[in-house]
Structure 1
Amino acid sequence: MKRMLSLRDQRLKEKDRLKPKKKEKKDPSALKEREVPQHPSCLFFQYNTQLGPPYHILVDTNFINFSIKAKLDLVQSMMDCLYAKCIPCITDCVMAEIEKLGQKYRVALRIAKDPRFERLPCTHKGTYADDCLVQRVTQHKCYIVATVDRDLKRRIRKIPGVPIMYISNHRYNIERMPDDYGAPRF
């Protein structure tokens, strides 16, 4: 069995030896630096000033599917919820996700290809729609996210100033929308 020399062994030359570590004492009077995330300038307290009619609503795959199950017209129901003009936006990732679902979801695909929907091109790699929506909302705070997915809602709640639209009792509701914008409170 071979044995290795310790770096503190007496037989090693001075230049090859490991120097003992000296512990640095922290100065209690020194200022402590910490990194605080920069909040976007569009947020006034917790209210997002970039939100306003016409509302741009990022639509998720399952939101379209649940709207079909609840027999809701997407654009009309959004306008009924927000009392203003709404422009549903759909990213390439969400479109790819609907196309992957196959023949069973052809009605959802037809709704997603509606000319009233605005198509948003994606520049990132991969087609995971949840990451795409979270990334887009983090960069631009001018969107409302329409989703029924619990995990996605949880991720978006961590981002300040982004309202969430969801379906309950066969109609659309909005969460975290400031009172100033005339959003209904239920």
Structure 2
Amino acid sequence: MRAKRSKQYRKLMQQYAMSFGFREPYQVLVDAEIIQAAARFKMKLGVLLAGALHGEIKPMITQCCIRHLYDAPTTTDQERSEKEGWIEVAKQAERRRCGHHELDEPLTTLECLTSVVDPKGSGKNRNCYVVATQDQEVRQSMRRVAGVPLMYVNRSVMILEPMASKSEKLREMEERGKLKAGLISRRPTGAGGKRKREDEEEEDMPDRARAVIAAEADGGVRGGTEPAAKKKQKVKGPKGPNPLSVRKTKKEDLKPIARPVEEERATSRNAAKSKPHAVEKGVDAEGDAEGGAAEGAIEATKKRKRKRKGKGGAALEGEPAVEGEAADKGELPEEGSRGVEGMIS
């Protein structure tokens, strides 16, 4: 609950600062009764006031209030010691001259504080005083003055009253006035009274828009400055691969065999430009050479090593085997071969 109360007090003082001009250090007027209440609860009055207002304070006391402390009746030694403590606390505060020190008897707290806060009876707190008092009549009277924060002690807790109804209404009116001043332009309409709709639109238009419209009108009618050229739109096409993700070609990957081939192709191209008929003959010759090479490769693939069969039908290493055509015709090896005898037996 303490944190919530502290947040409310901070927000309240910000409202007083924005609407009524309060600033640090806050001028706090204390009376005799709140000093006595703080001493009764053994409270440090200055620390609690600064904590409730969330800022530096400047405690002040009027001459009438300090005279009330001096005139307090005492009968016992304990009361006398308490009275001395009250006076010491009052002396730490700044003396506010109210002009009533010449009177034989001091004025009441209500009369004295009212003459200090609102001397002319205008209903406004022009000097931005914060009133800290235990007197209910004083607080009730100060609520009629706009912009007066009120404080009092309740069971050893420093209380800052919410904003009074008169202060709240004045703050709302000021906020509405600021809003209207920002939305509605206060330009004079001129001697003619009402303005045309086109003139109003031109006045509400920003300066840059006016300049653009004037330039277009000059270019179209008077032949003055040409309108600004339109920006060329970039033609979007297929994007290439990411250069960081593409594998770089190495010199080792380039085969040395490809170099003479490339050189031959380059020479043929150059020859084609100079002598096209000679190039055609060379192409035919290359085609014949390539065809012969292809036939030689096919014949090489057809040739296979033959293995001769030994005992038990196994082929011997280094000897050719019987071709499939001879086996189909029924041709067998010579009669004297031991391999045949082994097969017959």
Where on the TM-score scale, by shorter chain, does this alignment land: which range?
0.5 to 0.7
Q: TM-score of the superposition, structure 2-length normalised?
A: 0.36
Partner residue of 1:171? 157
SS at match of 1:119: strand
2 CA distance for matches of 1:49 and 1:151?
A: 24
Which one has the bigger helix percentage? Answer: 2
- The higher-RCO structure (CA 8 Å, 6+ apart) is 1
Residue pairs, 1:1-186, within 5 angstroms: 48-103=19-74, 104=79, 105-114=83-92, 117-124=93-100, 125=103, 126-128=105-107, 129-139=109-119, 140-177=126-163
Question: Which residue identity lines up with residue 96 of structure 2 in the other structure?
Answer: L
Aligned residues: 134
1 CA distance for matches of 2:86 and 2:141?
A: 24
2 CA distance for matches of 1:122 and 1:138?
A: 12
**Superposition CA RMSD, Å:** 2.6
C-alpha displacement at 1:84, in angstroms? Answer: 0.4
SS at match of 1:81: helix
C-alpha displacement at 1:102, in angstroms? Answer: 4.1
Q: Is the 8 A contact 1:141 1:162 kept in 2?
A: no
SS at match of 1:63: helix
Which one has the bigger strand percentage? Answer: 1
SS at match of 1:160: coil
SS at match of 1:113: helix
Question: Which residue identity lines up with residue 59 of structure 1 in the other structure?
Answer: V
Which has the higher Rg, Structure 1 or Structure 2? 2
SS at match of 2:118: helix
Q: Percent identity?
A: 27
Change (3 A) 1:61 1:48: farther
Question: Which residue identity lines up with residue 140 of structure 2 in the other structure?
Answer: R
Q: Is the 8 A contact 1:63 1:148 kept in 2?
A: yes
Unaligned stretches of 5+ residues in structure 1: 1-43, 180-186
